[in-house]
Amino acid sequence: MPIQINEEKVSLIHSSGSSVEVYFYGATITSWRCGGKERLFLSKDSKLDELDGIKEIHGGIPLVFPQFAKASEPSAETANLPQHGTARFSTWKWLGVDVDNDEELTARFGLTDAQVPENLHKEWPKKFDLIFIVTLTADILKNILEVRNKGTEPFGFNALFHTYYSVPDISKVSIKGLNDITYSDKVKNFARFKDVKDSITIDQETDRIYENVPRDEFLIDLGQPGGVDNFTLKKFNLKDTVVWNPWIKARSMSDFGDEEYKNMVCVEPGTVTEYVKLEADKTWKGGQILKVQL
C-alpha cells in the first residue's frame, strides 16, 4: 500500500521503495528513506509518545510559522508566541492524496487557526489556512507551504523549513552556495559577518542566519567518495537560510543525545529576517526540494 495512516502519522511509500513519515502533530516529517538509508536526523531521545502541544520534535523537518525567533519588540503581534510559532505545536488534518503514480506520490495536510491550541491562538488570533504539500519520488522530497489570509486585515509572518540532515561525520561535511553572503551569528551575540570561503564547515556550535540569499540551490557535501549521498537543496520564495548545529550544547538538551551533534546538520530555508506581509484573502507559497545523489 502506498499510504498507511494511523492516529499519529501518515506514511507515504513510493513505488521505488522510498518513503516518508509525517506526524499530524506539527505536520512534522520525521523520516525520509531512499536508496535504503534514512536521510533525515531524528534524535533517539525525541519523545514522540509525549507530544502534547508544548513539546517540539527535534529532528526531521519541523514547520516554523508564524514566527522564527522570539519577537525582539514587545509591541510585535507575535511577541507572546513561543519561538518557532504555533504550527509546530498544532495538530494538522489529513487532506488526502493529489498524485499517485510511478513517478511521484503527493499528499496534503491542512491547518486552520481554529486548530491551534487555545493558549497560543489567543496570543495571535489571526484567521488563516495553511496547506502543507509533500511530494516523494525515488530520490527527491519536495515540500511546499501555502499560507492564506482568511481575515479582513493584512498580517505579517515568518516561515521556515527546519530541516535536519543525517550525516555520517559532521567533520567531513561542507555546505556550498552561501559564500559572500552576510549572516548574523547568534553564537556571537548576533554580530554580522560575511562568509568568504567557498564552503561552510562545522567545527563548533553554529547558529547563523544568512540574509537575502540570492542563490536558490545549495550542495550539502558529506565528504563521501564520488559524492555518494550528497544532498542538493533548492529553495523557492524563501529569501533567508539558517545553518545550525548545537555542538556540545546538545548535552544540556533533554531530548537530544549527548554526542548526536556529530551526525546532523540543519540547513533551513525560510523567510525570517523580515515578516512577509500578506493581504486579506491572498495566498503566499514557498518551498524546498531535497535530492539525494544515489
Catalytic (active-site) positions: 162, 268
Catalogue the E-assigned strands of 51-127. Answer: 63-64, 93-100, 105-112
Q: What amino acid occupies position 118?
A: E
Q: What phi and psi values does residue 72 have, to the nearest 5 degrees?
A: -80, -25
As given in the structure block, the three cell numbers for residue 60 are: 526531521
As given in the structure block, the three cell numbers for residue 193 are: 559577518
Q: Which of 269, 259, 195, 197 is nearest to 231 (CA)?
A: 269
210 pairs with which residues across the strands?
A: 183, 241
Q: What amino acid occupies position 82?
A: P
The H or E element that residue 118 is part of is: helix 118-121
Q: What amino acid occupies position 290?
A: L
Question: Residue 172: which residues within 8 A CB-CB, separation 6 or more?
Answer: 222, 223, 224
Burial per residue of 234-272, b for 16 or more beta-carbon CB atoms within 10 angstroms, e otherwise: bbeebbbbbbbbbbeebeeeebbbeebbeebbbbbbbbb
